[in-house]
Structures are given as C-alpha cells and as structure tokens.
Structure 1
Amino acid sequence: MSTPAASRARGGRVPRRRIPMGWIAAALAVVLLAAIGFSTRYRSAESVAAAGPRRFDPAAYGARMYESRVVPAIERKAVELPVLVEAMHTDMREAGRRYGVRHGTGPYTFAVKGTGRAGPAASGLMHVTVPGLPPGTRVSLQVGPVINGTALRDVVGFIGFRQFLDQVEYADAATALNDRMRERLLRHLDVRRLEGKRISFVGAFSFLTPAVVTITPVSIKEIP
C-alpha cells in the first residue's frame, strides 16, 4: 500500500481541491462593495441643492436691475415723443436705426419722454394728449394693474437672451421689471386724480404703428 509521500517520490501529483465558483463570486462582491463604500461621498439634500445650478429668481432680478440700471438707461436714451413720431412717419427704418433698439427680427423698441394732458384711465391704460403729434395719434400709458409687454427689458440694449438659461427665464426677466415698476411707481400713483392735469412722463414702447403708442412708464409726474 503506497502512501502520499511515496506517491510524490514516484513523481505522482496530488489532486488540488477546487474552490466553489459561488465562493469566488461572493468574495468579489464583498471587495467591490467595500471599494464603493470607501469612494462614495455622502451629501445632504442641502449641499446638493447648493452645488447645483442656481435657479433664476425674478423678484431678485427686478430689484437688482430696475432702479440701478434700467431706469437710468431709459432716462438717458429717451427722445421727445413728437420728434420720434415725426421721424417714424418720415422714414421708419432710419428712425429705428437712430433712436431704437432691436433684438433679432423683433420690433424696434424706443425710449421716450414727453408732456401732455392726462385723460381718463380705462382697461389699464391712461390716455394722454401730447401736443405736436399728427392728428389721430393715440398715446397711452400703462397704469395697471396688469402691465403687458417687454419694452423695459428690450429697450436698454444690455439685456439679451444669452444671459438666461432659456426662453422662460428671459420672459420672466421682462415680467420682473414690469412688476418692479408697478411696485415702485404705480403703487403710489393716484391715476384718477391726474385726470385733466398736465403731466410729464418717461418710458418705453415697442413699435406697432406710428399712430398707436402704448408706453410702459418709469416716471409719471404732475406738472404744477
């Protein structure tokens, strides 16, 4: 009877014990999970939100831009309304080039100022009779509560679509400026008391026709 030692002496091989494949798979899984655990950084919901892209805050944008940049730009660029309307009747393309701002293929937007006599307010508009305009020209100031359009955003020239994430934010910027104007100007304005009074105004409008001028104001003052 031969022994294992005798078998090795005769050059024989001892059969190797095979490790079950299931054990190997389980060991690899443990190693992988341990590696994942060491490399994973756990973050709170607050830290994830802070690290992500900041959401656009329309109210903060309006507060930051309206008084410090938008109003001064409109006041600086404003042309007397009779001068502008005459230029538009003479050569609309030249009037737009000289006095207006245009974004892409959109309408020209103009900053204007003027004086006139305030009429009654209806449907959010206060009509103003401005001397020196062609007969049939209808001038109105938006007095709310709803303020339409993007004139305050578009007329300044330094607010463009590429500054925003998408079209929604771009539209929200215009609404924010309108809302800020309503809060800072129209909230304190007694529109009914102005009826029949001489007023001065500064604002902006987007061109429709030379005969229809609907202005989003940044200033409305009674003339003593």
Structure 2
Amino acid sequence: MSHSTAPSTSAPKAPAPSRRGMLMGAAAIVVLAGAIALDTTVVPIGSEADVRVQAFSPDSYGQEQFPRIQAFVKEKAVDAATLAPAVLADKDAAAEQYGVASSTGAIMFVTLTGVAGEARSGVYPLTVDGLPEDITVRVQTGPAINGTDLRDAPGDIAFGDFKNQIEYQDAGSGINRAMKAAVLDGIDTASLTGKSVTVTGAFRLINPKNWMITPVEVAVQ
C-alpha cells in the first residue's frame, strides 16, 4: 500500500536588495559623513581656540588684564589736591571730567602721598597734606582686596563678556589678586603705620568725602 506524502514547502526567501538601493544607501552615508566633517572644527591642544573652550579661570584673566588696567589708572590719575575740591564742589561734574562712568558710581583715579595711620583689617587711613579735613582717605592692602573698582576702571569690561554674574564677579576678584601679587606682596603691609606712603589707584565715587582706594602702585618711604 503506497503512502502519499505532501510536498515539503520551505519559508520564502527575502528578496535580495537591489543594486540600485545599495548604491543609494552608500551615497547617503557618504553625504552624511561629509556633513559631519564640515560641521566639525579641529582644535589643536594649546591653541587659542583650545583655551577659549576651557573653563573660565579668574586668575588667568586677572593676570592678563591687570597690566593694562594698571597702565590706564596711572595715566588717568589726578593729584589729590586737584581732585578733592572738584568732587566736593560738584560730584557729577568731577566724575565726568576725571572719572569713568559705572552703574554704581564713577571710578575715579588719584595719586597722593600721606602718612599711614592704624590699620583695620588691612585698610590704612592716610593723612594727606593739602586735603580738606572732612575727606577721609583710606587704602586697602589686603590680605583680601575687595570691590570691583579695578575691573570697572577701564570701562570696557562688561557683563555681556561673561557667561553669567558669577564669572563677572570672579573676573574682578582675579584682577584684584593679580594686583596684590604684582604690587603689594613685595611690601610689608602689616607695618605701614607712621610711614609715608605714595599711592596711585582707583576709588568709586559714591560719597565725595570717603575715598577707599584700591592701589595699582604703592611706594613706601
């Protein structure tokens, strides 16, 4: 007795990709790779571009900026005997003539010689001949140098140059530290009382009778 068996059937094969489809796919990959290459910039290590993409360094910024800020302040500095009557007579006119505008009081530039009194937290009062007695002159010598007077002195360091307010504030601190290293670290600032000190620096004109000077040059006699 014969047995009939049903013909076996195998699973259908997937159609082979056409040569045209393969060529189109390869072409798309080439185009994509080209687009990626065009959009990619090679940045050599240590180049100027490499420095820009690194995290902001307040100390590097301060060391870069302080020399030109120092030169600017020294060039603009007015003798205290000239500046004092001007700010007492007309604060705004004096700021326009001798200072650089700032959002929180003009930055003024002064040079003077005075006798240092007793320091308080690194800030020395100075007795300056020829100045009205109602003007208080002080100079800060550290260890901490406060304020953003040096940052704001040239008038061209703007908030928009930085990523955020923290970087903008840190820039001022970096400049202050660079000043301290260049100007004050070579001076025995702990023992200036009674000595004659010549100071060139900047202060913010808020109260015409109260000058808190951040120095850019100090000489002790």
- TM-score interval w.r.t. the shorter chain? 0.7 to 0.9
Q: For 1:191 and 1:164, locate their aligned partners in 2 and report how far apart those are by CA, in whole Å.
A: 33
The offset of 1:210, in angstroms, is 1.5
- Correspondence for 1:151: 149
Deviation at 1:77, TM superposition (A): 0.4
Displacement, 1:53?
Answer: 3.5
Question: Can you give the 5+ residue segments of structure 2 that lack an aligned partner in the other structure?
Answer: 1-10, 15-24, 38-43
Distance in 2 between the 1:128 and 1:66 partners? 25
SS at match of 2:137: strand
Superposed CA RMSD = 3.4
Q: Percent identity?
A: 35
TM-score normalised to structure 2 length: 0.75
Q: 1:52 to 1:172 in 2, by over 3 A?
A: closer
Q: Deviations over 1:65-112 (max 9, x none)?
A: 212x11111100001123212111111110010011113x32111111
> Is there any run of 5+ residues in structure 1 with no aligned partner, and where?
1-16, 21-30
- Could you tell me which amino acid in structure 1 is paired with residue 65 of structure 2? M
- Cα 1:51–1:209 change in 2 (3 A) is closer
Separation (CA, whole Å) in 2 of partners of 1:56 and 1:137: 39
> Which residue of structure 1 lines up, in the alignment, with residue 98 of structure 2?
99
For 1:107 and 1:99, the matched residues in 2 are separated by 13
Q: Write the letter of the residue equivalent to 2:101.
A: R
For this pair of structures, how many residues does the alignment match? 199
Query: Take 2:52 and 2:174, find their aligned partners in 1: how far apart are those partners?
Result: 23
1:219 aligns with 217
Matched, 1:66 2:66: yes
Task: Write out the 4+ residue segments of structure 1 that deviate beyond 3 Å after TM superposition.
Answer: 17-20, 38-41, 49-54
| Maintained 8 Å contact 2:88/2:209 | no
TM-score by length of 1: 0.74
Larger radius of gyration: 1
